[in-house]
Amino acid sequence: MKTHESPIDQFDAEALKELRPENQLGKTALVLAAVCVAAWFSNIVNGSPLLDALPGMLILYAMVIIGLVVGRFCPFYLPSVAWVSLISIIATLPFFPGNGWIIARLAEVDFLAVVTPVLAYAGLALTGREFAMFKQTGWKLVIVALLVFTGTFIGSAVVAHVML
């Protein structure tokens, strides 16, 4: 082990491959079920009845699981999010059998209430690898990030002002 090498750098590609969600389907299905239940309850925020959103949440759960299974057994690698997106897009295409029913059930789910906690977690889920990378880039990354955030906010505000 090199003196400047951290324990984080010791992970090899195979160990990281085993940590992917599609390679741990049972564990991922349980965690996803817990997330879906929490998201289902967060649907109350906008006053939606729980039972109305239940079929939509079950459809979302099924789409994610199917995408992970396809990603697990497909002979070539694509990120899980690509497979889940592809399955979801195909299931809602006009020529897909039952797409009207699927879209009607998904319309009952308040996606803003569902996605907000997920995005908040994704923003906070930093691994040791990200912290090591941050230490290497230092203060310059903070300046670039602040400029990007400010530019994105101002750009969004301008577009919203022009369009609305």
CA 73 to centroid of chain Cα atoms: 20
CA distance 150 to 162: 18
pLDDT in tens, 32-82: 888 888 888 888 777 778 888 889 889 999 998 998 888 888 888 888 888
Residues 100 and 164 in one domain: no
Task: Enter the pTM of the model.
Answer: 0.64
Q: Does residue 2 sit within a domain?
A: no
Q: Which domain holds residue 92?
A: 7-125
CA pair distance 77, 156, nearest whole angstrom? 35
Residues 120 and 147 in one domain: no
Within-domain flag for 51: yes
Per the structure, how many domains does the chain have?
A: 2
Residues 37 and 85 in one domain: yes
Report residue 97 as tokens: 């059998």
Kindly state whether residues 39 and 109 are assigned to the same domain: yes
149: which 2 tokens? 């955030």
Q: Looking up tokens 């879906």, which residue turns up?
A: 36
Q: Are residues 99 and 24 in the same domain?
A: yes
110 phi/psi in degrees, rounded to 5: -85, 100
- How far, in Å, are 2, 87, 100, 102 from residue 94 at the CA level? 57, 14, 8, 11
Q: Is 1 part of a structural domain of the chain? A: no
Q: For 79-116, how does the pLDDT look when each residue is reduced to its tens digit (9 = 90+)?
A: 888 889 999 999 999 999 999 999 999 988 888 877 87
Residue type, 24: Q
